[in-house]
């Protein structure tokens, strides 16, 4: 695409935004359009002419400046300045003048006392898109971005979105921690950071609880260690213990790895309450048979830990399974030929080679535990962790955004600390055990003692897991699983999902329908956006050379490292007031999902692109195809498997996530997970479990459906080999 | 119209502090096959990619057929390129691969496929149109890559080490095919290789590069017989480079022994002298020439190879197998037919 084409399209877009679309956000939806072109639906040109937004004249002037050269068919580098000016003018005015009039008092001499200005709307969006287009066209005309306007536009657009929805909310939230009652208060900030609430060590000497930071660290460390060890046991049995030979074993192991991925994180907590709560099935059994008194031990550290391990151990298993399979058998055979016995081979060769994967599994468990919100909320009891404490600082009786921001900062520091540790650790030790040469040989069998130990831990755990998921499956269809009344009923499903027929049209009477529909809509909208944007970004990062590429990559990965609770807090702080006001809409849910799940799409895309020889792109270019054609006809068809994965992943996460969106849902746009958490808090355990079952079934169907619809990529004969040029 | 297909005017390509191509100026004539030759890392592939537009220069000016293309992307230059890896699209069949460029440039599908089929026929690939690249042999893949480039009727055709993935026997045949096709169609071709034999065999002109600059450019014969310096002499075939002295026209001294040897014009005085292995003929002791002793001897079927210890140093010698044989330790006298005093 040439710079001129892009610049003209951008000009048209911005002009539409100036003359037609309502400039400010429509508070009551599209019904407000009736008042166009006056009042709340007025386009900018009307607002300029009646003088109520005189400070936005620069927008119109800049567009008028860009038009003549473009109409004459010339696109020059100056367009970049005009585009940047447009974006700055719109946002600058938006931030400077808010709902209470002037926000930036230092501009008073220039602007006087302007009237209040509501949030930006469709018109502003079009002008911004146009501004970015002009900026990109100007850069391409200067020869940046390989002189390709399409690439330039993608980079500028993605960069803008990432800054707006990843970077700015974070900065905004961190600055909120610095303020108290609207004034800058570094002292309050310091006090919040070192508050005893976070750091108290009282639990060591008294019966009072410890600080949340210690709680969080303790929980995360335990989760990391135990789930890694369990995962290792599973992996050793699966790869070296001969379990995969039997069909039952293989099936059980595979189910173990899939179930947690499609289960909303806190559903496991529900099952644990049903099993071990004060009136739980196991508790009752223990009371009846062994006179072990009923207690609330499950609420607190043990329960949360158990739930997190149930979710994390399978993921550790997947990681270690891959690492174990990648160890070339010839290394172990070499040790064996030198006279080492099985145990010695394991200790001297296998174990050291596994260390990086063990570290990775531990850190993943650690980080996931830090970010987990659903389980501590449901099972935590008095045991508070950072994520729940942040939630209550916002949603609790004492609304204190500054405190929430400071706690979020602590959580963020812990997470980044873990990632930094991982990078440092893995950076030092990297063993390439896949040589690329054809490796034959048999992996060494497990030493006998180790095998028995693994089996003794793994099979009981497997039974326990089956029990937990069995509860989820059964719980929704019996009268009162919480009190052991196991007679069959459709009652709970009916409460949630009742449908009546009035005059041939279905009426969705069940209490769960609203949230289910919203969830499916939001997931269905955000999944293709996530996959599309993720793959595009991956392509830009992996294949294009442009200034700021590292920055773009960093910002993409940033949202991966930020715990959901932090994202939720930062979003309500950033998007609750003009100029970008999104809270209470379904759009903010979509945006939240897109930018939280983006890194997975990007990583998958980059990994897939690494398998596709760059000369394919270049060949396409030398035959006269521009970047857009190459992307559409060569790269995307080859990336199909990665796209399917990204689609399925983002859909599933959008349906199971709770931590970020619990801050963002509204009465009109509630989500299934949040609704379920609400049912649990209201004590309607059975309905919650029934709803969870419905969710799991839908997700399974959708994941399989996406795979079927988009199809697996057709690449020559055989299963998917690395895509090399011409091969 | 000029007779220049490609013109580089002080073109530089820097990657950070490294100058892969350093102020290179060259004119490549139309209708000729020019090879870019050099050791790895000399900048020859970067030069080719600069012509293709896959890299944009950091300085200087590039013209193709008189048109300034310096800032144009690959898609906007009328070139075609055959990649080392062939870069056939694995998800398209042979016909789709060959017609891709035509379709991208706006051709209608039926006419594009007809043209592609005709080109496949020219290259002896008819009947393979529906195959996927993964279902072809290496040689067939190579020809599909050539067909895909030729069907666009480019002003300049570029080859990036096109034979390196073929086995030795096939390599010779394919390079003849490329040469024939180039002559028949009168194409301007730039051809990158690191194999000097290949370069000598196919080129009208050879351009030897070293460290981002052009070391020497000329016909294969000129480069072989009249190298500019020791680097070229050694790179274009092997050469023994020894210290000696030019005594006058066709008279030099090597290792203190005065010899009558055909040389190119060179002022008298001490000089580095290159002697090709095949210019030396060992003879039984006592014959006129440079005396020495056989240090190592090997029989290679078509030729014999010796290392001869002389007063000028160790000389590497290649003789036809039919010439008299010597064994390790034999005393010989080396008759030298030609030598190249280096400037």
Statement: residue A58 has pLDDT above 80: yes
Nearest to B74 among A622, A633, A714 (CB): A622
Statement: residue A672 has pLDDT above 50: yes
Statement: residue A685 has pLDDT above 90: no
Task: Tell me which H or E stretch contains A385.
Answer: none
Judged by a CB distance cut-off of 8 A, whether residue B16 touches chain A is no
Nearest CA in chain B to A146: B73
pLDDT (tens digit, 9 = 90+) per residue, A478-532?
Answer: 877 766 677 777 777 777 787 787 777 777 778 888 899 999 999 999 999 999 9
The confidence score (pLDDT) of residue B81 equals 92
Looking at per-residue pLDDT, the higher value among A359 and B114 belongs to: B114
For chain B, which residues score pLDDT lower than 70? 1-2
Nearest CA in chain A to B97: A620
Helix A685-710 with A513-543: angle, nearest 10 deg: 40
Q: Using the 8-state DSSP alphabet, how is residue B338 labeled?
A: B
Banded model confidence at residue A403, pLDDT cuts 50, 70, 90: confident
C-alpha radius of gyration, chain B, whole number:
24
Q: Taking the model in full, what pTM does it have?
A: 0.81
The confidence score (pLDDT) of residue A484 equals 65
The confidence score (pLDDT) of residue B85 equals 87
Residues of chain A positioned with their CB less than 8 A from the CB of B52: 618, 622
Statement: residue A724 has pLDDT above 60: no
List of residues 6+ apart from A488 with CB closer than 8 A: A477, A478, A479
CA pair distance A129, A116, nearest whole angstrom: 24
Nearest to B87 among A147, A615, A714 (CB): A615
Judged by a CB distance cut-off of 8 A, whether residue A722 touches chain B is no
Across A295-312, average pLDDT: 89
The confidence score (pLDDT) of residue A712 equals 47
Nearest to B87 among A624, A626, A725 (CB): A725
Residues of chain A positioned with their CB less than 8 A from the CB of B131: none
Q: Using the 8-state DSSP alphabet, how is residue A113 labeled?
A: S
Across A254-267, average pLDDT: 75
Statement: residue A655 has pLDDT above 80: yes
Judged by a CB distance cut-off of 8 A, whether residue A611 touches chain B is no
Name the percent of chain A lying above pLDDT 70: 93
CATH code of A199-430+442-472, in short, is 1.10.3720.10
Nearest to B80 among A623, A633, A723 (CB): A623
The confidence score (pLDDT) of residue A426 equals 66
Distances (CA, A) of A66 to A87, A157, B299: 14, 19, 78
- Tell me whether residue A505 is exposed, middle or buried, using C-beta atoms within 10 angstroms of its C-beta: 0 to 12, 13 to 18, 19 or more: exposed
Judged by a CB distance cut-off of 8 A, whether residue A636 touches chain B is no
Residues of chain A positioned with their CB less than 8 A from the CB of B72: 147
Q: How many angstroms away from the CA of B91 is the closest CA of chain A? A: 6
The confidence score (pLDDT) of residue A725 equals 43
pLDDT (tens digit, 9 = 90+) per residue, A426-471?
Answer: 666 555 544 444 455 666 677 888 888 888 998 899 888 888 888 8
The confidence score (pLDDT) of residue B2 equals 62
Across A617-630, average pLDDT: 89
Nearest CA in chain A to B91: A715
CA pair distance A433, A421, nearest whole angstrom: 23
DSSP result, B72-130: --GGGS-EEEE-TT----TTS-HHHHHHHHHHHTT--HHHHHHHHHHHHHHTT-TT-TT
Q: Do B91 and A625 touch (CB under 8 A)?
A: no
Q: Do B83 and A620 touch (CB under 8 A)?
A: no
Nearest to B52 among A620, A622, A638 (CB): A622
C-alpha radius of gyration, chain A, whole number:
28
DSSP result, B276-334: -GGGEEEEETTSSSEEEEEEEEEE-SSEEEEEEEETTEEEEEEEETTSPP--TT-EEEE
Task: Tell me which H or E stretch contains B232.
Answer: helix B230-235
For chain A, first and last CA: distance in Å?
A: 30
Query: How does the average pLDDT of chain A come out, rounded?
Result: 83
Judged by a CB distance cut-off of 8 A, whether residue B104 touches chain A is yes
Q: Do A629 and B104 touch (CB under 8 A)?
A: yes
DSSP result, A181-230: TTEE-HHHHHHHHT-HHHH--GGGTSSSPPPHHHHHHHHHHHHHHHHHHH
Lookup result for tokens 């109520």: A52
CA pair distance A75, A624, nearest whole angstrom: 22
Residue A648, both tokens = 């399925």
Statement: residue A57 has pLDDT above 60: yes
pLDDT (tens digit, 9 = 90+) per residue, A144-200?
Answer: 887 788 889 999 999 999 999 998 998 888 888 887 766 777 887 888 888 777 787
List of residues 6+ apart from A722 with CB closer than 8 A: A611
**Coil, helix or strand for B201?**
helix
CA pair distance A546, A540, nearest whole angstrom: 9
Distances (CA, A) of B316 to B213, B234, B281, B292, B328: 29, 12, 11, 12, 14
The confidence score (pLDDT) of residue A599 equals 85
Residues of chain B positioned with their CB less than 8 A from the CB of A724: 85, 90
Numbered ranges of CATH 1.10.3720.10 in chain A: 199-430+442-472
Q: How many angstroms away from the CA of A453 is the closest CA of chain B? A: 47
Range from A23-37, A328-342, A706-720, B270-284 carrying the lowest mean pLDDT: A706-720
Q: Are A531 and A650 in contact (CB under 8 A)?
A: yes
For chain B, first and last CA: distance in Å?
A: 38
Statement: residue A211 has pLDDT above 80: yes
CA pair distance A698, A10, nearest whole angstrom: 41
Window 118-177 of A: residues touching B by CB (8 A cutoff) are 143, 146-148
Residue B82, both tokens = 């055959």
Helix A351-371 with A401-428: angle, nearest 10 deg: 170
The confidence score (pLDDT) of residue A719 equals 34
Residue A379, both tokens = 């099972």
């Amino acid at each position: 695409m040439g710079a001129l084409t892009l610049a003209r399209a951008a000009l048209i877009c911005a002009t539409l935004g100036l003359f037609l679309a309502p400039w400010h956000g429509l508070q009551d939806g599209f019904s407000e359009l009736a008042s166009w072109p006056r009042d709340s639906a007025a386009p900018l040109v009307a607002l300029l002419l009646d003088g109520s937004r005189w400070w936005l004249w620069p927008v119109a002037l800049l567009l008028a400046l860009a038009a003549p050269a473009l109409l004459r068919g010339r696109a020059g580098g100056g367009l970049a300045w005009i585009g940047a000016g447009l974006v700055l003018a719109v946002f600058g005015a938006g931030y400077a003048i808010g709902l209470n009039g002037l926000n930036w008092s230092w501009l008073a001499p220039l602007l006087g006392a302007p009237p209040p200005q509501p949030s930006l709307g469709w018109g502003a969006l079009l002008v911004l898109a146009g501004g970015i287009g002009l900026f990109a066209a100007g850069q391409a005309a200067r020869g940046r971005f390989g002189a390709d306007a399409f690439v330039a536009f993608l980079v500028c657009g993605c960069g803008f979105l990432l800054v707006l929805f990843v970077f700015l909310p974070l900065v905004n939230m961190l600055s909120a921690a610095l303020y108290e009652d609207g004034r800058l208060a570094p002292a309050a900030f310091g006090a919040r950071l070192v508050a005893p609430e976070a750091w108290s060590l009282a639990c060591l000497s008294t019966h009072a609880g410890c600080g949340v930071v210690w709680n969080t660290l303790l929980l995360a460390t335990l989760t990391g260690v135990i789930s890694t060890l369990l995962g290792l046991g599973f992996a050793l049995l699966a790869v070296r213990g001969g379990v995969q030979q039997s069909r039952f074993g293989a099936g059980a192991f595979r189910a173990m790895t899939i179930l947690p991925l499609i289960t909303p994180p806190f559903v496991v907590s529900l099952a644990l309450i049903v099993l071990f709560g004060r009136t739980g099935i196991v508790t009752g059994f223990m009371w009846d048979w062994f006179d072990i008194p009923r207690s609330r031990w499950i609420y607190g550290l043990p329960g949360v830990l158990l739930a997190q391990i149930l979710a994390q151990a399978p993921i550790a298993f997947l990681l270690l399974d891959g690492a174990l399979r990648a160890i070339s058998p010839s290394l172990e055979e070499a040790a064996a030929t030198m006279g080492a016995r099985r145990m010695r081979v394991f200790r001297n060769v296998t174990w050291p080679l596994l260390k990086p994967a063990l570290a990775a599994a531990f850190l993943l468990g650690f980080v996931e535990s830090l970010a987990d919100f659903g389980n501590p909320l449901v099972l935590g009891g008095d045991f508070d962790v950072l994520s729940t404490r942040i939630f209550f600082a916002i949603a609790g009786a004492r609304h204190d955004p500054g405190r929430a921001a400071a706690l979020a900062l602590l959580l963020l520091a812990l997470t980044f600390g873990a990632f930094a540790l991982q990078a440092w650790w893995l950076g030092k030790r990297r063993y390439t055990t896949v040589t690329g040469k054809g490796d034959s040989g048999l992996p060494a069998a497990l030493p006998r003692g180790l095998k028995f130990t693994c089996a003794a831990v793994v099979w009981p755990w497997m039974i326990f897991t089956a029990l937990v998921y069995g509860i989820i499956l059964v719980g929704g269809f019996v009268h009162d699983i919480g009190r052991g009344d196991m007679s069959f009923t459709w009652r709970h499903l009916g409460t949630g999902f009742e449908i009546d027929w009035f005059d041939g049209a279905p009426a969705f009477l069940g209490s769960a329908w609203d949230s289910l529909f919203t969830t499916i809509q939001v997931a269905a909208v955000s999944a293709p956006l996530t996959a599309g944007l993720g793959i595009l970004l991956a392509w830009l990062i992996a294949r294009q050379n442009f200034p700021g590429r590292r920055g773009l990559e960093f910002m993409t990965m940033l949202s991966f490292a930020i715990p959901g609770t932090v994202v939720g807090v930062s979003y309500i702080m950033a998007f609750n007031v003009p100029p970008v006001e999104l809270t209470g809409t379904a759009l903010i849910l979509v945006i939240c999902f897109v930018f939280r799940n983006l890194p997975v799409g990007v990583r998958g895309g980059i990994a897939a692109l690494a398998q596709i020889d760059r000369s394919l792109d270049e060949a396409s270019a030398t035959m006269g195809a521009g970047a857009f054609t190459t992307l559409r006809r060569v790269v995307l068809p080859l990336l199909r498997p990665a796209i399917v994965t990204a689609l399925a992943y983002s859909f599933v996460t959008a349906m199971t996530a709770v931590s970020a969106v619990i801050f963002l849902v509204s009465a009109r746009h509630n989500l299934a997970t949040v609704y379920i958490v609400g049912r649990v808090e209201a004590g309607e355990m059975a309905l919650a479990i029934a709803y969870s079952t419905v969710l799991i079934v839908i997700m399974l169907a959708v994941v399989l459906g996406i795979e079927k619809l988009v199809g697996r990529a057709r690449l020559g004969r055989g299963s998917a080999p690395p895509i090399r040029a011409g091969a | 119209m000029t007779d220049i297909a490609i013109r580089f005017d002080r073109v530089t390509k820097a990657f950070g502090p490294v100058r892969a191509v350093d102020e290179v100026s060259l004119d490549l004539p139309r209708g000729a096959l020019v090879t870019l030759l050099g050791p790895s890392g000399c900048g020859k592939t970067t030069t080719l990619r600069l012509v293709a537009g896959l890299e944009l220069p950091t300085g200087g000016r590039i013209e193709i057929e008189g048109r300034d293309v310096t800032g144009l992307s690959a898609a906007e230059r009328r070139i075609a390129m055959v990649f080392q890896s062939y870069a056939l699209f694995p998800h398209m069949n042979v016909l789709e691969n060959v017609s891709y460029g035509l379709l991208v440039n706006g051709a209608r599908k039926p006419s594009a496929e007809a043209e592609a089929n005709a080109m496949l026929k020219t290259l002896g690939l008819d009947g393979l149109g529906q195959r996927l690249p993964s279902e072809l042999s290496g040689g067939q893949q190579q020809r599909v890559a050539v067909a895909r480039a030729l069907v666009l009727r480019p002003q300049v055709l570029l080859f990036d080490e096109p034979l390196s993935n073929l086995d030795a026997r096939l390599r010779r045949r394919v390079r003849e095919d490329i040469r024939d096709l180039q002559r028949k169609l009168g194409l301007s071709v730039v051809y990158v290789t690191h194999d000097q034999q290949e370069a000598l065999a196919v080129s009208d002109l050879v351009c030897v590069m070293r460290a981002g600059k052009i070391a020497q450019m000329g016909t294969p014969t000129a480069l072989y017989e009249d190298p500019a310096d020791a680097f070229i002499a050694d790179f274009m075939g092997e050469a023994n480079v020894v210290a000696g002295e030019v005594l006058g026209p066709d008279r030099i001294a090597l290792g203190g022994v005065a010899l009558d040897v055909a040389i190119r014009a060179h002022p008298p005085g001490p000089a580095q002298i290159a002697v090709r292995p095949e210019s030396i003929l060992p003879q039984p002791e006592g014959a006129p020439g440079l005396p020495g002793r056989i240090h190592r001897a090997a029989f290679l079927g078509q030729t014999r190879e010796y290392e001869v210890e002389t007063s000028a140093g160790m000389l590497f010698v290649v003789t036809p197998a039919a010439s008299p044989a010597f064994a390790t330790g034999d005393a010989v006298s080396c008759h030298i037919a030609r030598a190249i005093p280096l400037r």
